[in-house]
Structure 1
Amino acid sequence: MTDLMQERAGVPVLVCDPDGPPIATERDALDLIGAAFLGATVVAVPAERLDPGFFTLGTRFAGEVMQKFVNYRLRLAIVGDISEHLERSGALRALVAESNRHDQVWFVPDLAALDARLRATT
């Protein structure tokens, strides 16, 4: 599977392939943002594509990526099981909880949960 544009719950979403290239730099995030400009308003990124440094908040990589999406007015959904990362970091747990209270960046366990969030906001 390649990254695909899909309409999910009436919203255009770029659903990224779990086996696609890793997202390890700001440039990688910008490449996804560029791909989303074909019509997506949400980018769904499988958690396993994110460099492990994303989940270590001291690297600031998560903040940089999230800020890029905010700047370009795109929603970002991190899709997948991140429980292992959450167990190791109270700061990450707080970030995920705070992000999920708002509308710009979400952490969801699967695409069905993303669809439910999208339905709730439209």
Structure 2
Amino acid sequence: MTSLEKIHDVPVLMCAAEGAAIEGERDALDLIGDATYQGARWVVVPAQRFGDDFFHLRTRIAGHIVQKFAQYGMGLVVLGDISRHLKTSSALEDFVRESNGGRQLWFLQDKEQLADRLQG
């Protein structure tokens, strides 16, 4: 289930914590289609909706998903605690740090952080 919200006048598609796992490009395209239809510029997906393989960069799942969002000019936010994944991968730590410095993919703890990022 999804809902469209405006945060600082930015249309954001918020995905529910419950729902099918986001496991690959097809799932990403479904979200992008829904977001485009509703006029969103960002899609926010709770971290628990991503399978563990998303956080293991060697699988390239994260890269493929992010690439689809970039191709369609849609931002992606992974929202929630990913500390258990970060503890086991310095490559993931680097990926998160680099992503959070850009305008395509953010890994954020909560909706408050999202509001702060969209304000600026």
Range into which the TM-score falls when normalised by the shorter chain? over 0.9
Give me the whole-angstrom Cα distance separating, in 1, the residues matched to 2:110 and 2:48.
12
Report the CA distance between 1:21 and its aligned residue.
1.1
1:25 Cα shift? Answer: 2.0
Aligned residues: 119
- Return the TM-score normalized by structure 1: 0.95
Provide TM-score, normalisation by structure 2.
0.97
- Runs of at least 4 residues off by over 2 Å: none
Are residue 101 (structure 1) and residue 101 (structure 2) matched? Answer: yes
Q: Does 1:64 align with 2:45?
A: no
| Counterpart residue type for residue 45 of structure 1 | V
2:69 and 2:59 mapped to 1: Cα distance?
18
**Structure 2: distance between partners of 1:115 and 1:20:** 24
Q: How do 1:1-122 residues align onto structure 2 when only pairs under 5 Å count?
A: 2-37=1-36, 38-120=38-120
- SS of 1:7's equivalent in the other structure is strand
Cα distance, 1:10 vs. partner? 1.3
Q: Give the share of equivalent positions with the same residue, in percent.
A: 47
- Higher mean C-alpha displacement, 2-11 vs 41-50: 2-11
